[in-house]
Amino acid sequence: MQQKVIRELLESEPSLHPVSISGWVRAFRSNRFIALNDGSTIRNLQCVVDYEKFEESLLHKVTIGAAIGVTGTLVASQGQGQAVEIQVSKLEVLGEANPEELKLTILSPKRHSLETLREQAHLRVRTNTFGAVMRLRSKLAFAIHDYFQKNGFYYMHTPIITGSDAEGAGEMFRVTTLDAKNPPLHPNGTVNYSEDFFGKESNLTVSGQLEAETYAMGLGKVYTFGPTFRAENSNTSRHLAEFWMIEPEVAFNDLDDNMDLAEDFIKYVVKYAIDFCEDDLEFLEKRLQEEEKSKPQNERSEMTLREKLMFVLDNNFVRVSYTEAIEILKNSNHNKKKKFKYLIDDWGADLQSEHERYLVEKHFKRPVILFDYPAKIKAFYMRLNEDGNTVRAMDILFPGIGEIVGGSQREERYEVLKAKMKTMGIPEEELYWYLDLRKFGTCVHSGFGLGFERLVQFVTGMGNIRDVIPYPRTPGNAEF
């Protein structure tokens, strides 16, 4: 008999045909009512057992966390909370869960903090919260591919191991096969990386952007969606050492085209989550409302989770230059009354999350795209404006989170890019291939980057980025 999944059965009509289902026990009441969950939905399926027809020793093994298989008839439920239930004719315990050992894990009925759940990350996906988060993560990942494939983009795999630093930040994880205790040395005492596996100093990538640009110049429209790494010693709720990035690059697109693409893309994936994850979003919204009750009134969100998502869908993103934004912030009551942690004094300041959220939540009350940032605070590859002080960069700002997308029109002029690299101390010989793009059929092109976990965090309402990736990698932690 073909196995069914609970999500399908809960949407089915009662039937005389027997059905089989497997899952994990969430509760077993009165030796009669089993709440079963198989991960396909946040909702449990009630399985009704006539305990007189089953061995007591078998029912004794039906404990919370145990894996069981049941066969029976799907009938209209007599109780509240579900439309259908299974009248069990056959019951099999597939994997026991010792109740005494269970008390020591997060699978016990007791509520646990998110910090405790992180310590048992191998089990936390069986909780309602993490089941909902990870189903949403999966749907969002599919929506990303769906959008780009429908819009004529080609998916490319950029290198995980690289010899270049796309951001010029220098915060990279080194990849080496050299003996850490006794590496080969040059006469001057420095490490001789010519004897390493790749014959040069190599690292884990911080971005696939530069390589994606090379493919956009041959395929027109490409995107990457893969793991990236930052060796930042940052213990915050917004940073991970290993995370996933979405990076489209498009030939012949200028900054306005790039902003259009980013807004259309992000609205598509948010709508996809709303359309296909209703139960999980409803649960996470209620969870967030309970969490908000413990916060001071002034720290509580003015919108529920789904209102925040609809806020993104229902509003055109307002486009504001960095220069205009600085004036708004500088003259705001928040700044004058010193309510910002980082006060805005002069043009050229690197905006913090509090400034970005103020623009979205207080001033414009719409998602915001800031553009034309000071060249000094942006990467070398961004196109220099005619004023010589700003670059064709753009950031998308969302409520509750601040920056969610960062992108730019890339510098397509050979001599200008070469000069910028020299000014920033980036060796030409390391990125000769990147410069080559500007020598052989150069053209205007643009792209952006979206940290996938930041998107999942926004859609699920989770407060800490460590709770939207299966196994978070952070300073001092590479468990599991």
- Could you tell me the CATH number of the domain that includes residue 104? 2.40.50.140
pLDDT digits (tens, 9 = 90+) for 260-315: 999 999 999 999 999 999 999 999 999 999 988 888 887 788 899 999 999 999 99
Range of the domain at 18: 6-110
Is residue 323 within 8 Å of residue 372, measured between CB atoms? yes
DSSP 215-260: HHHHHSEEEEEEEEE------STT--SEEEEEEEEEET--HHHHHH
Query: What is the DSSP pairing of strand 221-229 with strand 154-155?
Result: parallel
Listed residues 84, 110, 136: the one ending a domain: 110
Burial class (CB in 10 A: 0-12, 13-18, 19+), 247: buried
Answer whether residue 227 is part of any domain. Answer: yes
Instruction: Specify whether 415 is located in the same domain as 455.
Output: yes
Averaged pLDDT score across all residues of the chain: 94
CATH number at residue 433: 3.30.930.10
Is residue 405 within 8 Å of residue 449, measured between CB atoms? yes
Instruction: Specify whether 268 is located in the same domain as 344.
Output: yes
Kindly state the helix (H) or strand (E) to which residue 410 belongs, with its residue range: none
Instruction: Specify whether 62 is located in the same domain as 151.
Output: no
Instruction: Specify whether 360 is located in the same domain as 303.
Output: yes
Give buried/exposed letters for 350-359 (b at 16+ CB in 10 A, else e): ebeeebbbbb
Is residue 405 within 8 Å of residue 262, measured between CB atoms? yes
pLDDT digits (tens, 9 = 90+) for 110-158: 888 999 999 999 999 999 999 999 999 999 999 999 999 999 999 999 9
pLDDT given for residue 457 in this prediction: 96
pLDDT given for residue 169 in this prediction: 55
Answer whether residue 343 is part of any domain. Answer: yes
Instruction: Specify whether 319 is located in the same domain as 210.
Output: yes
Answer whether residue 183 is part of any domain. Answer: no
How many domains, in total, are found in the chain?
2
Sign of CA dihedral 233, 396, 381, 377: negative
Is residue 139 within 8 Å of residue 132, measured between CB atoms? no
DSSP 88-130: EEEEEEEE---HHHHTTSTTSSS---HHHHHHTTTTGGGSHHH
Listed residues 110, 144, 179: the one ending a domain: 110
Report residue 445 CA to chain centroid gap. 26
Task: Measure Cα distances from 18 to 53, 59, 67, 255, 288 in Å.
Answer: 17, 21, 20, 59, 39
Answer whether residue 475 is part of any domain. Answer: no
Token duo for residue 353:
């999350």
Task: Give the span between the Cα atoms of 110 and 108, in whole angstroms.
Answer: 6
**452-460 and 255-276 helices cross at what angle (nearest 10)?**
50
Instruction: Specify whether 357 is located in the same domain as 251.
Output: yes
Instruction: Specify whether 272 is located in the same domain as 331.
Output: yes
Instruction: Specify whether 272 is located in the same domain as 316.
Output: yes
Half-sphere exposure of 61 (CA within 13 A, CB side): 13
Query: What is the DSSP pairing of strand 45-48 with strand 84-95?
Result: parallel
Instruction: Specify whether 60 is located in the same domain as 146.
Output: no
pLDDT given for residue 171 in this prediction: 85
Instruction: Specify whether 279 is located in the same domain as 356.
Output: yes
Answer whether residue 392 is part of any domain. Answer: yes
The amino acid occupying position 178 is: L
Query: Looking up tokens 């967030």, which residue turns up?
Result: 288
pLDDT given for residue 49 in this prediction: 97
Answer whether residue 189 is part of any domain. Answer: no
Task: Give the span between the Cα atoms of 379 and 396, in whole angstroms.
Answer: 17
Task: Give the span between the Cα atoms of 184 and 168, in whole angstroms.
Answer: 27
Instruction: Specify whether 24 is located in the same domain as 147.
Output: no
Name the 3-class secondary structure at 77: coil
Spans in the chain with pLDDT lower than 70: 1, 165-170
Regarding pTM above 0.75, the answer is yes
Instruction: Specify whether 422 is located in the same domain as 300.
Output: yes
Answer whether residue 409 is part of any domain. Answer: yes
Answer whether residue 152 is part of any domain. Answer: yes
Instruction: Kindly report the backbone phi and psi dihedral angles of residue 126, in degrees, each rounded to the nearest multiple of 5, phi listed first.
Output: -85, -5
